Amino acid sequence: MSSVNMDIRHSNNARVEMAIADFFHAQNIPDAVVESPEFKRLVRQCRLVDSTFVIPSKKKIGGGLLNINFENIKEINKTNLLKEAAVFGIVVMGDGATIHGMPLLNILAMSGNTLPMTIGISDCTTHMASGGKGKKDATYIADIFAENLVEEYDPNHQLTDVFYFDGASNVQKVGQVLMAKYPRTFCYHGGEHVVALFFTSLSKIKPIRVNVSRYYLFNY
């Protein structure tokens, strides 16, 4: 390869490198993202497009492409969750959350060496606004868990072993309902939720909050 071509490649490489840095700086994206597998895959794929490529609009990214990505990730997670489920069973974890006034129910699951993964996030707004008595009651939550996890991932009711919920009375009742519906399962109090709340409270103490902020500032 001639020295001219080498100079052009070096110049193009420098321009792309600077464009990436400028994008991260201008959009206030954490520097660590540049080392993520997803970003590296994006750059590799960009090398394959031709001049006809059109950058997708924000509507397309937040619409059709988001739906495709969701279905792909869901299928991958399902495959990973069920990979060792026949040996280790499935453990289900649930917790409620209210974010910006929206009442949500988060469902996670794990099995064997498979790390916990999100199986579903249910928006409870309609239920609570139309006769849900202003709360996520036990029967309603139990139906969500049965429909969104057990019936989809374990239709023969042979894999699901354990349900974990926090200490709230309504979700502990959910455990009782699910154990009655699926007799081979057990429900336990998720103690890690209490530990998480404890450390959340600690992180609000000013000296600790400052140190945590400094750590993230210089490491991410």
| Contacting residues for 112 by C-beta, under 8 A, at least 6 apart | 83, 84, 85, 87, 88
58 lies in a domain?
A: no
59 lies in a domain?
A: no
CB distance 159 to 86 below 8 Å: yes
60 lies in a domain?
A: no
11 lies in a domain?
A: yes
Q: Does 200 lie in the same domain as 128?
A: no
207 lies in a domain?
A: yes
pLDDT tens-place values along the chain, 220 residues long = 555 455 667 788 899 999 999 999 999 999 999 999 999 999 999 989 999 999 999 999 999 999 999 999 999 999 999 999 999 999 988 877 788 888 888 888 999 888 889 888 888 888 766 654 545 678 888 888 887 678 889 999 999 999 888 767 777 788 888 898 888 898 887 766 667 777 888 888 888 888 877 776 666 5
Q: Does 155 lie in the same domain as 200?
A: no
117 lies in a domain?
A: yes
Quote the domain boundaries for residue 98: 66-189
Q: Does 185 lie in the same domain as 90?
A: yes
182 lies in a domain?
A: yes
CB distance 103 to 124 below 8 Å: yes
Q: Does 146 lie in the same domain as 174?
A: yes
CB distance 23 to 29 below 8 Å: yes
Q: Please give the tally of structural domains in the chain.
A: 3
Q: What is the pTM of this model?
A: 0.68
Q: Does 170 lie in the same domain as 88?
A: yes
